[in-house]
């Protein structure tokens, strides 16, 4: 499987994960708009370990939505949730949505 990107969020496929469950499905909040990258359809859970978020999709697909971007289907499996960074003359910075 390949990585999946939506705005500033990137999902990286990982092997099976054993982490602490979180009781929401918000992957990230937009810093500028207040909108949220979240799972709106499908069976999934969000997990966390050492400050890193992981998404586990149980159904064949789950739908990742964000008001500023097109919805993206996420295939079944385990995913590490990361915020993308970009390099500018001042150095690395996280991409803001």
pLDDT in tens, 86-96: 555 675 444 55
Beta strand residue intervals within 30-84, DSSP E: 36-41, 44-49, 52-66, 69-83
Higher pLDDT, 54 or 31: 54
Per the structure block, which two tokens stand in for 36? 């949220």
Q: What is the mean pLDDT of the chain?
A: 85
pLDDT in tens, 45-76: 999 998 899 999 999 999 999 887 889 999 99
Domain boundaries, the chain: 4-94
Q: What letter does residue 15 receive in the DSSP assignment?
A: S
């Amino acid at each position: 499987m390949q990585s999946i990107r939506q705005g500033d969020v990137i999902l990286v496929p990982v092997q099976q994960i054993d982490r602490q469950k979180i009781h929401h499905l918000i992957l990230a909040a937009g810093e500028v708009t207040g909108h949220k990258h979240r799972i709106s359809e499908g069976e999934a859970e969000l997990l966390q370990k050492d400050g890193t978020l992981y998404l586990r999709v149980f159904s064949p697909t789950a739908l990742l939505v964000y008001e500023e971007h097109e919805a993206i289907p996420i295939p079944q499996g385990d995913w590490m949730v990361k915020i993308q960074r970009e390099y500018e003359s001042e150095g690395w910075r996280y991409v803001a949505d």
